[in-house]
Structure 1
Amino acid sequence: MLEELLYKPTHSLIDQSLHSRLGVETTNGDGYGVGWYLPADGQRPGTLKGIGPAWGSRNLREVAASVRSPLFLAHIRASTGTPVQESNCHPFRFENWLWMHNGMIADYHKVKRDIMLAIDPDLFPDIEGSTDSEAMFYLALTFGLRDDPPIAIEQMAGFIEDVGHRHGVENPLQMTIATSDGERLWAVRYSSVHNSRSLFFSTDVEDLRRLHPDNPMLQGISDETRLIVSEPLGDLPGAWNAVPEAHWGVVQEGADEIHPFIPKRP
């Protein structure tokens, strides 16, 4: 069930919405969203979004207690200037893809026109909100997210930095990103200033069982279980590892991977 991770850990996402330890904002109350995949090939993911704070959402609690999913994304929002409305809440969805982002495009009002005009005209009608995060998603789709996510995101980042520099923005991009096609999940940590928002991945379950053989929670989860989080959900020794600055990783069946992230300029 989703509630096992959204509500039950010591420093769960719901707790983080009130008491973020590592985020820029201590409180993230400008909306929430969760997207999940069901174990059926080709199924479009479900989503639930709300404009209120996650800690007070009865709908989120009801859904989290009812939905069982092998892969889901969840987000709490602190607006960087765009309106608090459902279309601006993460995760964003296109076909079988989900996308969420922590960070910002600096001086977005200066570069927004150039970024929006670079999006594939066939994709443009699907944009619903006004955030820089959704624009990044559709720009990545334009650059081939569905074929090669790491390359597409590197091209997206390089394009945004190029546009920003042309408009006199010294450090255009701050981002940690999670995106999924329902089978794999990619996570990216990068910023133009090389001091990115926090991002962690959980240690391999078999290694954790060796470290904590008496922990009952570890006995009840799959060997393939992996969590990607902005902040650790608890204080279990050895459970959490920081994603290195300017790196991307993929969680997939079998061996997961992590590689350097290098923006590709136009």
Structure 2
Amino acid sequence: MDASDASDASHTPDSPGTPRARSGRSGRFAVPVEAGGGSGPALVELDRRVAGCGACPRLVAWREEVARDKRAAFADWTYWGRPVPGFGPADARLLIVGLAPAAHGGNRTGRMFTGDRSGDVLYQALYDVGLASQPTAVSVDDGLELYGVRVTSPVHCAPPANRPTPGERDACRPWLVQELRLLRPTLRAVVVLGAFGWQAALPAFAAAGWVVPRPRPGFAHGTRVRLDGPQDGDGLDVFGCFHVSQRNTFTGRLTPEMLCDVLRKAAGAAGPE
């Protein structure tokens, strides 16, 4: 990220910003005008503000370093190098919550779970259960559509070693809370990937208006927790799933069948579009 871009990255969860689009691989347009893919103007504006956040100095420095130095395999890419907003329709009934963008995945492409091996597993599974238009996600202009599903994360910047600090998680939480509030009219189910996402998401659900049981339920693969909403009919079913990390998928801790099973159950709880 060059000096002119750095001026766009000073926004925080409480200050609006409108970052410029960046060029993609070999000069292709890398980030659509509506970065989150949603039809709701408020969610589109939120996505723009997320992409302009500069609240965490360590994460800003790391995402820019990665975007500048690149990986040899992606030398011809212009990395996104900013916070990565959510992806999917504004009227989604199902939300998938991950951890954070990958340094050479979302931090490169500008879209959640796009361009890395975790995304390969996730989008293949979404396609297999009928929630995505195609089984691959390689760039923001690859034509991928999600059906009634949105993908987001509690931390929007790529962290060193894939490990955000608790302070960075908490600093990013207002973005997730605002996103949940905008999705609340239609949102009926959530799949949370991994224990970190689970710990980050539960306080956000509470801040967005759902009632989280006390003591807070612990994370486990396949767990299902019902959260009451502020009004009748807007409760939320929250499912735990092992993260689609390479460590989990390569060792067989999370198999495609296990992931598809959770997604099918969550889609059933979310109901028809």
Q: TM-score, normalised by structure 2?
A: 0.31
Higher strand share: 1
Higher helix share: 2
Q: TM-score, normalised by structure 1?
A: 0.32
Question: Which of these two proteins has the greater Rg computed from alpha carbons?
Answer: 1
